[in-house]
Structure 1
């Protein structure tokens, strides 16, 4: 058996092919797994669990079906869906995890996270992240009418796209020291994350031993998952 990891699907009504691919993945591939971990940015945007968007209920129902088949689903928030809350988790049957976690898989500790906290060279983004993760700011935002939240989310997304056009690729990638610090914190040799949209399995050294950092790909034109077994960690791409 194996444990599966996915991230950065960015589900939205404008990309029905990605939604169809994810639903097929949940119905055909995920039921064979020991567990499924979704490492953030499942949705392109999330303005609150009270958003009546039909896509959200469709996804919740599909995940709930998988959970009812005996496959636990775990979720770590991304930078797009960090407001996804307990109400959606209850509807879907997902278990919400902290932003950084070390899980034991087949006797091996594996660090999991979305990955944006590793991009410490992007100071502007990290400042923004600290602000929007402030509890009182989140409460204030979620108290606004839905139409205002939608307007703010569209504006923030447009600003983010514009800002990223002027950033170097190096700044938006992980910082090597931040990666080493994560390995040291958890005394682990395997790390799985998303966010950067640069799928690869990097071989490095950490804690004086060989280590692996697996990066999930975004679901732009094909699916991407990390498959972890007792023996190996594999990056797998597959058609929608």
Structure 2
């Protein structure tokens, strides 16, 4: 089989039974086994309120990831805006390597910059303000020390406010900013950018041969991942 590397993001796996969790299991037991590496670029989970609780809720997925890693598939994870509290315990148990955001890789002769994508949405000033607070180590330490019920209530409230806010924000504010994209290319020296977050799967051919590839969010009718080989890129479904 032609060597390939797989990319996916924005699965938003819920804690309870779900077609998405079944789809992810099929992915890990199927196409992922034949890959050289798998990159998950954030929002694998609907929310993550700490490794201590998350690894209980998603024990099945952690075990499947660990098995895949033991079989020799390289696994990489980039935090998203829903699971930014994933820590070293999750990575150690699942066999995943945690990536910075952005991260630069070399693959099949190409230099690629990877990002979850929310850093590129700089026009959404309110979200960026919240992101800076949520990624503050002190705030995260205080949150992790709270009882489970408090953490769950806070996570639910944040999701509700986010969903409500989206209804009143102009569509272009929630998409990437062209200047931010240009800065990613300039700082990384890459010619391709792969990201998720915006839920607007597409391939944008930019100036000077640059490409911005947006990964698909998972939906009941479309559970998609991106496969990359030396010959090119292919969007496939589970």
The answer on whether the counterparts of 2:15 and 2:58 sit within 8 Å (CA) in structure 1 is no
1:102 aligns with 2:104: yes
Number of the residue aligned with 1:216:
215
2:94 pairs with one of 89, 92, 98: 92
Bigger mean CA deviation after superposition, 46-55 or 139-148: 46-55
1:238 aligns with 2:237: yes
The answer on whether the counterparts of 2:48 and 2:54 sit within 8 Å (CA) in structure 1 is no
2:29 pairs with one of 20, 27, 30: 27
Question: TM-score with structure 2 length normalisation?
Answer: 0.95
Matches within 5 A, 1:120-159: 120-159=122-161
Contiguous gaps of at least 5 residues in structure 2: none
Deviations 1:28-73 (A, max 9, x none): 1011111000000000000001116644111100111111111010
Number of the residue aligned with 1:226:
226
- Partner of 2:216, secondary structure, is coil
Matches within 5 A, 1:1-240: 1-14=3-16, 16-51=18-53, 54-205=56-207, 209-221=208-220, 222-234=222-234, 236-239=235-238
- Residues 201 and 219 of structure 1: is their aligned pair in 2 closer, same or farther, counting only changes over 3 Å? same
Tell me the matched-pair count.
Answer: 235
| Separation in structure 2 between the aligned mates of residue 88 and residue 129 of structure 1, nearest angstrom | 21
Cα offset, 1:229, TM superposition? 1.5
- Residues 85 and 153 of structure 1: is their aligned pair in 2 closer, same or farther, counting only changes over 3 Å? same
The answer on whether the counterparts of 2:55 and 2:90 sit within 8 Å (CA) in structure 1 is no
Cα offset, 1:233, TM superposition? 2.5
| Separation in structure 2 between the aligned mates of residue 99 and residue 10 of structure 1, nearest angstrom | 19
Q: Which runs of 4+ in 1 moved over 2 A?
A: 52-55
The answer on whether the counterparts of 1:78 and 1:114 sit within 8 Å (CA) in structure 2 is yes
Deviations 1:71-103 (A, max 9, x none): 010000000000011111111111111111000
The answer on whether the counterparts of 2:45 and 2:83 sit within 8 Å (CA) in structure 1 is yes
Question: TM-score with structure 1 length normalisation?
Answer: 0.95
The answer on whether the counterparts of 1:12 and 1:55 sit within 8 Å (CA) in structure 2 is no
Contiguous gaps of at least 5 residues in structure 1: none
| Separation in structure 2 between the aligned mates of residue 14 and residue 61 of structure 1, nearest angstrom | 17
Q: Say what the alpha-carbon RMSD is for the aligned residues.
A: 1.2
Deviations 1:115-149 (A, max 9, x none): 00000000000000001111100111111111110
Cα offset, 1:14, TM superposition? 4.5
Cα offset, 1:13, TM superposition? 3.2
Bigger mean CA deviation after superposition, 138-147 or 221-230: 221-230
